Amino acid sequence: MVEHTELDLVFHALGDATRRRMLSELAGGEKTVTRLAEPYAISLAAASKHIKALESAGLIEREVRGRTHICRLSPRPLAEAYRWLSFYEGFWNERLDALERALHEDDRARRKSTEEGEQT
């Protein structure tokens, strides 16, 4: 079972657009911190804070090679978050399907009532 504190860190990290874009960048392969910060109008210090949030959530791993910091994706936390969300997807799909059936039945009843009213 996934610890809720781990999920909290993952969802906190995913709650920021810059961090989500950084993850998208890393989906193309590992990048240095400098390269990861380039597309954004933020300082390296600000980029480093975003990277630390991603690291804390386990979403990325950082390797130090000399003075260069290399970042890469770590898929396990996203997979765990997906599994957790999947339970609720099924929950909502069932309810939405039931709502759709009820709405269709209501539409049919209204059409039938309207047709019967026109015939009298």
Domain 4-74 fold is Arc Repressor Mutant, subunit A (1.10.10)
Residue 48 sits at the vertex; the CA angle it makes with 84 and 21, to the nearest 5 degrees, is 50
What's the pLDDT band for 49 if we cut at 50, 70, 90? very high
pTM score, whole prediction: 0.71
**Tens-place pLDDT, residues 8-22:** 999 999 999 999 999
Closest CA to 25 of 13, 14, 15, 37: 37
**What pLDDT, in 10s, does the model give residues 77-110?**
999 999 988 888 877 777 787 888 888 888 888 8
